Amino acid sequence: MVTEGAHLNGGGPQERLLELDFAQDDLPRLRVLVDQYAAWAGLAEPRRGDFVLAADAVARNAVEHGGGSGRLLLRRAFGALECTISDSGPGFASSVIPELAPGLGGSHCGRGLWLTRLITDRLVIAGGAGGAGGSVVSFAMVLPG
């Protein structure tokens, strides 16, 4: 399905590939689905494995810190594969992502987001829609041309 809407680079056409709500028990299935759709969209290894790792890390954060569940939207837009994960937790700012690898300074907080920032081409963190709380984390990888 092609829709018009905003994404990481502004507006334009998007092809929705996968949209689902998830909780802790759904994480293994979520990883498999993201891998399958990423392969279908043309994201090859090893980048596809990195994309699945990022999706898992952000989804785990949504479950652990964002109210126990989340919503994933996977889409292809403007030559990139984009994943957006939202939750209904207290929200956070991008400043929670450490500059150095987590664990080097004694804290392990922010490891998943640090890794996501490192292995993806774009990472955007925003608050929930309409000021309703929660977090929206979007990341993308450019698809081969």
- More reliable by pLDDT, 30 or 90: 30
Cβ contact 13:77 at 8 Å: yes
Domain that holds residue 138: 15-142
Rounded average pLDDT over 50-66: 95
Total number of domains constituting the chain: 1
Q: Please report whether residue 9 resides in a domain.
A: no
The confidence score (pLDDT) of residue 9 equals 42
Is 130 within a domain? yes
Q: Regarding predicted confidence, which is higher, 90 or 119?
A: 119
Residue 3: inside a domain? no
Read off the pLDDT band of 131 (50, 70, 90): low
Assigned domain for 107 exists: yes
> How many helices (DSSP H) and strands (DSSP E) are in the chain?
3, 6
Asked if 82 contacts 8 with a C-beta cutoff of 8 angstroms, the reply is: yes
Per DSSP, 101 falls in state: P
In a domain, 5, yes or no: no
Q: What is the CATH number of the domain that holds 90?
A: 3.30.565.10
The answer to whether position 6 is within a domain reads no
pLDDT digits (tens, 9 = 90+) for 16-52: 999 999 999 999 999 999 999 999 999 999 999 999 9
